[in-house]
Amino acid sequence: MPETPLLSLQNTTVRRPTGLVLEHLNWTLQAGEHWAILGLTGSGKSSLLDALSGRLPVSAGTYHHPVGPLREVVEQVANDYQFDRQVAAAAQFYQQRFNADAAEEAPTVWEVLQNRVKPVGTVDDQSISLPPPAYSDEWLAEVAGWVHITHLLDRRLTSLSNGETRRTLLARSLLRRPRILLLDNPFGGLDVASRERLHGILNRIAAEGTTLVLATTPREIPAAITHVAELADGQIRWQGPKAGMPALPESAPETLTDPTLLPRWLNTTAKPFERAIRMRNVTVSYGEKTVLHAINWEVRRGEKWAVLGPNGSGKSTLLSLITADNPQSYRNDYELFDRKRGTGESIWDIKRNIGFVSPELHLYFPREQPVWKVVASGLFDTAGLFRRLTEDQTGQVGFMLDLLRIQHLRDKRLSQLSTGEQRWVLLARALAKNPPLLVLDEPCQNLDPAHITRFRDLVDELCQSADRTLLYVSHYAEEIPACVTRVLHLDAGKGEIESW
């Protein structure tokens, strides 16, 4: 007699408010199996995990979880701070980690894991009543040791690096002792060492009895995975043992931009400058921790640079100085676009010359605005559109949608798009004002291999101009565009210049 499956989908259909996202799914999860969910960006991987966790309701067919109530059986690891209203409120804006005073408002890792987060604005701790710690000190210490965050328990959540945040969110789910653990692209944004560490963590979790189901890419499938399902257009294209996994199809148009429009965008009309960046012994510290140490770096107009380094090496802090998001700009000696920082220019004067994409901007960007407003906000460097557009500005937005071939997304809300589509829209936002400097911080995070190739080639197309300057951050060498010729390598806050 066959064993009762842990989970089972039978001719299942799932809808979002915008329409069908999954249909006619037939899939079972048996005890002892661990599944990787693969597919091109927008194929429905995240929607499948949301359906399995109960975040998305089944609109047709059946979803059986006979081993117990869903909330007691399945745990989905959070991707960001939105899992809790108080935590999300305390992590209010994407520049917060660079502002020492504002960062102190965020809860500590221990407070988040023990469900003891104080309401934002609490002045007197005696005025509020918090529940007792959710877990014993022994269990918390054990789980923190598994995922290597013991040393982070007293740190503020918003001070963590990408890798540290991922491990903290994983610990939060493991503390609940789930039978089935769902993870959505857990390796995105992690450096080589952090990815290897997470592979080890997931393999250990599987060995100790927790069933894994994770959306990932072919290059990041943990050894513990036994089975693979490949999605395409909201349906299961293939499923079976990992050993029989077929190669994923690649899908991309012949050209990534409209060739009739690209020359118009390449002709930048920005005010000329000799150096985009010139830093002299730039140092950034928070308390006793030095994040950047005596950085000397010069980027001339038209140069294409990669900025590389492990998680926590100082890359985000360095970029925050360039994009005028870090208050410690005024304590340092450096120039942006041939003008010494702190000599009367506004942050908007600086941002006007920069097109910026980053995982943090993506995390905090308002999701309920339609795509055309998201793109239009790039004209004003605001997180959303708060003014009426002129006829010329409306034309600029339409031009960008046409240039990147995303006109069909124009009226959809950002929240209705796949991760890859959202990243494409935020790139259009960064390009909208035709900036002379592009700062692309891990722009391919959580994209599938085909879309990574598309994005990399697109950046090469957009950087054909000798006047376009590029800073590109990635943890994968194969993602670096061909146009890059120089590298700033950061390690523990110290910089070293190399040729690429």
> How confident is the model over 43-58, as pLDDT tens digits?
889 899 999 999 898 9
Query: Would you state the structure tokens that stand for residue 146, as one six-digit string?
Result: 């598994």
Residue 328 has pLDDT above 70, yes or no: yes
Percent of the chain with pLDDT over 70: 90
> How confident is the model over 73-128, as pLDDT tens digits?
899 998 776 666 666 665 554 455 555 455 566 788 999 999 988 776 666 666 67
> How confident is the model over 179-191, as pLDDT tens digits?
999 999 888 878 8
Q: Residue 125: its pLDDT value, please?
A: 66
Taking residue 338's Cβ as centre, other Cβ atoms within 10 Å add up to 13
Percent of the chain with pLDDT over 90: 43
In 3D space, the residue among 224, 135, 222, 117 whose CA is nearest the CA of residue 174 turns out to be 135
Q: Please state the rounded mean pLDDT for residues 148-172.
A: 85
More confident residue, 18 or 16: 16
Q: Which segment of 121-135, 198-212, 246-260, 432-446 scores lowest on mean pLDDT?
A: 246-260
> How confident is the model over 222-253, as pLDDT tens digits?
999 999 999 998 999 999 999 988 876 555 44
181: β partners = 75, 212
What three-state secondary structure class fits 108?
A: strand
More confident residue, 308 or 4: 308
Give whole-number Cα distances, 300 to 297, 347, 357, 385, in Å: 10, 21, 21, 32
Cα gap 343→337, rounded to integer Å: 13
Residue 1 has pLDDT above 50, yes or no: no
Q: Residue 100: its pLDDT value, please?
A: 47
In 3D space, the residue among 148, 178, 146 whose CA is nearest the CA of residue 161 turns out to be 148
Give whole-number Cα distances, 406 to 239, 278, 375, 397, 403, in Å: 31, 36, 11, 11, 8
Burial class (CB in 10 A: 0-12, 13-18, 19+), 81: buried
Q: Please state the rounded mean pLDDT for residues 356-383.
A: 88
> How confident is the model over 372-413, as pLDDT tens digits?
999 999 999 888 888 899 999 999 999 999 888 889 999 999
CATH number of the domain at 262-499, please?
A: 3.40.50.300
More confident residue, 414 or 329: 414
Q: Please state the rounded mean pLDDT for residues 404-428.
A: 86
Q: Residue 164: its pLDDT value, please?
A: 82
Mean confidence (pLDDT) of the chain? 85
Phi, psi of 291 (to 5 degrees): -90, -40
Q: Residue 306: its pLDDT value, please?
A: 94
Query: Would you state the structure tokens that stand for residue 400, as one six-digit string?
Result: 């960008």
Q: Residue 86: its pLDDT value, please?
A: 60
Q: Residue 268: its pLDDT value, please?
A: 66
Split at pLDDT 50, 70, 90, the class of 255 is low
User: End-to-end distance of the chain based on CA atoms, in angstroms?
Assistant: 60
Name the strands in the sheet holding 333-336, side by side, starting at the edge strand that comes first in the sequence: 289-300, 275-286, 333-336, 339-340
Q: Residue 253: its pLDDT value, please?
A: 47
Domains of the chain, residue spans: 7-244, 262-499
pTM value is: 0.78
DSSP assignment of 466-481: TT-EEEEE-S-GGGS-
Q: Residue 27: its pLDDT value, please?
A: 96
Split at pLDDT 50, 70, 90, the class of 194 is confident
Are domains 7-244 and 262-499 of this chain identical in fold?
yes
Q: Which segment of 135-144, 357-366, 436-445 scores lowest on mean pLDDT?
A: 357-366
DSSP assignment of 354-412: EEEE-HHHHHHS-SSSBHHHHHHHTTTT-SS--SPPPHHHHHHHHHHHHHTT-GGGTTS
What three-state secondary structure class fits 341?
A: coil
| Domain boundaries 7-244, CATH class | alpha beta
Q: Residue 120: its pLDDT value, please?
A: 66
> How confident is the model over 462-474, as pLDDT tens digits?
888 888 999 999 8
More confident residue, 439 or 194: 439
Q: Residue 269: its pLDDT value, please?
A: 64
Residue 203: its H or E element: helix 192-207
